Structure 1
Amino acid sequence: MIDKKSFYASCEALRLGLNPMEVALAVVSQQVGTDWGSGLIMAASPLAKKKYGLSNVMRARDLPPKDQAPDLMLVEPHMNLYIKRSMEVLQIFRKYAADEDIHVYSIDESMIDMTEYWHLFGDDPYLVARKIQKDIHDSLGLYTTCGIGENPLLAKLAMDISAKHRTSMIACWHYIDVPDTIWKIPKLEDVWGINVKTADHLRRLGINNMYDLAHSDPAILKKEFGVIGDQVASRIRAQHLLAGRVSLYIGYADYEADPAGFSIQEKITPTDISSDLVAKLRALFRRKWRGQAVIRLGVTYSNLAPAGCQQLTFFLPPAEQIK
């Protein structure tokens, strides 16, 4: 898992000919006037975070006065620049992995499955990660943090929890390290996938850290939290049901947006085939989405009917559809 460190702020620093690690700089979501403005802090350089306590949830009006932060630079965002740099980093990844093994998680984070060919680039995965880091820095000037693991979660947590505190900005977590790494994480909210609401819910159950969570009864967790994500299709198959209607809920990351999200549903030919259901959900999403950042997604299948019969289509051979 590779993260472009303070990506937007780093891109802006490099655009101005500055070292991203040595400048106090923040990217603000709107034009900044002489009074710092009322924009949202979209990104801050590592020095700005350390020196002035900046975070991505601050308003520019909450920044320290100019006389208390004389070296703090505020700049407007240049999204086309960030997209261009992200694509350039992706091209560098393609020197080390096939497209099907590169998974872009966000504009500044990607995961590379190098299981089959890391050994082509070095004697150790750690050294290969360093080679990729150096390639990105030498080509684009960007600094990156990297987490290495035997599965995606280990890699992600190694990057989030450990790599950012290391001089090399690389951390490697193995299965055998789990009791000394994941179980030792004291704050639930520091773990990818656990938000404040979920952490509070866990604490009400007496689960206060990752060690407690790892040793909790899965049946209790399932009862409390239900089943998460695109397992919905497998659940209706397990119950021998077909869905005759799909519903999609989308919530935007900007809580002040109008609208704050949307709900849409449509009647479909009854099915339990994941690919068909996902294709319909994608179509519904594209019909309503206008480019906003999405933070919540909900999927519901309804109008359920027994799977004892199947409506065939003219466009595929019957044997293939039945299979």
Structure 2
Amino acid sequence: MSTGPADTGNVYLCIDLKCFYASVECADRGLDPFRTNLVVADSCRGKGTICLAITPAMKALGVRNRCRVFEIPKSVDFIECRPHMRRYMEESAEIYGIYLRYFSPEDIHVYSVDECFIDVTGYLRLYGETPVSMAKKLMAIIRRERHICATAGVGTNLFLAKVALDVLAKREPDGIGWLDEETFRRRVWHHRPLTDIWGIGPGTARRLERYGALDLAGVTRVNEELLYGAFGVNAEYLIDHAWGREPCTMVDIHAFRPQTHSISNGQVLMQDYPSEQARIVLREMADASCLDLVQKDVACTGVALWVGYSCAEEGPAGASASRRLGAPTDSRTGLCQLLLALWDEVADPTRSVRRLGVALTGLVPAGVSQPSLFDDGAALAREHELTRATIAVKGRFGKNALVRGTSFRPGSTGRARNEQVGGHLG
């Protein structure tokens, strides 16, 4: 294949660790993921649970990635592994350490546990490599040292590197795709479906279809005013990407600071919960969010609550409510009481609950928070000291070293969730 974009201008790699969770499980067992049928899933949650990963061997049999356990054909024999999220994070850190041997942290952006971007612009001449040969060497080192197969996209901007990975790399014998703007128009402009393109989901694709845009070439033919009318400021990204343009650089990514912040906490319950038990779980979630608030040394200016009812019951799918606060606060007691009051206000006590979410919104530095004339300043100070002490105990002895009594009541999930990483046992 070609050596890819010339080593002039910006060049980026986007490296993906293939079927990462399943590959880690195979590596730990000394198995070849290209010859082993293995699924990472926790079927104790039910046969409807989603497979977090499957091996390339299972994909070759036509098994769909992210399928549910019951959707795997009965004729396929496979090994099922419960997710080990801490192990995957450890392995991801080991592979990040490989990148750090050759590149500065300022030139690396970790996009997810199994994917990262690297700006190799200033390294090609240093190492005497082309972009593709650089990708090959990194992939070979990862395979040799960590027994994980990787694929890579090479592009003259971040977007092209990602599209080269997602659309082209899987079709190349060496697992490397590359794009510059000219090659992009030749190889990707007419690619369908649009949902294969980074940043275009099913909803966006359906809306674009109304304007006759079934691929990126079609997007370039749509009147820009129509796009801005339909997508607002997001139309700018669609237009740039349709032409293969991406102004964002690695420097921009590392310099980015979000204008708004929030702390959110959500969970899908293992079974339908009666309203009174769901309220207990909400109390635990609110308390955990408040501890996180104080640990980050911030206060919030609003709260929000989401309730999702059992899909087996008739009626609305859920309920939600939010409140803005008169002043920023990090009061554990006050915020928990407010979230429970929202629950009592909007939750239907006759409905079973399956999903819950809370958010503390509009975060500001904790020093901004000032008690009002109606607050007991001394009581707030004592509460804050107690919260800090709770955080210290949990940090030293584990999250379950100190829990509220409600976490021992029937239906509570707090203690079990304290042992999990990413919603699964570590």
Is the structural similarity TM-score above 0.5? Answer: yes
How far apart are 1:37 and its partner, in Å? 3.8
Distance 1:247 1:120, change over 3 A: closer
Tell whether the 8 Å contact from 1:163 to 1:169 is kept in structure 2 after alignment.
yes
Aligned to 2:142: 136
1:49 has 2:59 as partner: yes
Distance of 1:106 and 1:169 partners within structure 2: 19
Q: Which amino acid aligns with 1:69?
A: V
Deviation track 1:276-298 (CA, whole Å, cap 9, x = no partner) reads xxx965879xxxxx99979xxxx
Aligned counterpart in structure 2 of residue 161 of structure 1, from 146, 151, 167: 167
What's the CA shift string for 1:16-54, capped at 9, x where partnerless?
Answer: 11012221111003448xxx8443211111111221423
Q: Aligned in 2, Cα 1:38/1:184: closer, same or farther, shift over 3 Å? A: closer
Distance 1:171 1:255, change over 3 A: farther
Q: Measure the CA separation in 1 of the matches of 2:109 and 2:150.
A: 16
Alpha-carbon distance, 1:152 to partner = 0.3
For the Cα contact (< 8 Å) 1:247–1:266, is it kept in 2? no
Match for residue 108 of structure 1? 114
CA distance in 1, matches of 2:134, 2:160: 17
Larger radius of gyration: 2
- Whether the aligned pair in 1 keeps the contact of 2:19 and 2:56 (CA below 8 Å) is yes
Secondary structure at the residue paired with 1:41? coil
Alignment partner of 1:73 out of 64, 79, 91: 79
| SS of equivalent to 1:105 | strand
Q: Summarize the alignment of residues 7-46 of structure 1 with structure 2, pairs less than 5 Å apart.
A: 7-31=20-44, 37-46=47-56
In structure 1, the residue corresponding to 2:61 is in which secondary structure? helix
Residue 16 of structure 2: aligned partner:
3
1:151 and 2:157 matched: yes
Structure 1 residues 203, 281: closer, same or farther in 2, change over 3 A?
A: farther
Map 1:109-124 → 2, pairs under 5 A: 109-124=115-130
Gaps of 5+ in 2: 1-13, 238-258, 272-305, 309-319, 329-360, 367-417
Moved more, 41-50 or 211-220: 211-220
Question: Given the alignment of the two structures, is residue 174 of structure 1 paired with residue 187 of structure 2, yes or no?
Answer: no
Deviation at 1:216, TM superposition (A): 2.5
2:72 counterpart (51, 63, 78): 63
Q: AA paired with 1:182?
A: V
Q: Where does the alignment leave 5 or more consecutive residues of structure 1 unmatched? A: 232-244, 270-278, 285-289, 295-323
Match of 1:236 in 2: none
1:217 CA drift (Å) = 2.6
Structure 2: how far apart are the matches of 1:151 and 1:183? 16
1:247–1:131 CA distance, 2 compared to 1 (3 A): closer
Letter in structure 1 aligned against 2:220: A
Give CA deviations for 1:159-211 in whole Å, capped at 9, x if unaligned. Answer: 00000111100111012212112212121111110000110011012211111
- Displacement of 1:60: 1.1
Equivalences for residues 189-204 of structure 1 within 5 A = 189-204=195-210
Contact kept? 2:262, 2:362, Cα under 8 Å: no
Over 3 Å counting, the alpha-carbon distance change for 1:121 and 1:254 in structure 2 is farther
Instruction: Give the equivalent residue in structure 2 for 1:318.
Output: none
Residues of 1 paired with 2:321 and 2:364: CA distance?
A: 14
Moved over 4 A (4+): 245-269, 279-284, 290-294
Aligned counterpart in structure 1 of residue 221 of structure 2, from 215, 221, 225: 215
Counting matched residue pairs gives 259
* Partner SS, residue 222 of structure 2: coil
The structure whose residues are more often helix, as a share, is: 2
Whether the 8 Å CA contact 1:21–1:47 is kept in 2: the answer is yes
Determine if contact 1:2/1:147 at 8 Å carries over to the other structure: yes
Spell out, residue by residue over 1:96-119, the C-alpha distance to the aligned partner (whole angstroms, 9 max, x if none). Answer: 211111100011110001111122
Q: Which residue of 1 aligns with 2:132?
A: 126
Preserved contact between residue 2 and residue 145 of structure 1 (Cα < 8 Å) = yes
Cα 1:59–1:268, aligned 2, differ >3 Å: closer, same or farther? same
CA, structure 1 residues 204+155, in 2 after alignment: closer, same or farther (shift >3 Å)?
A: same
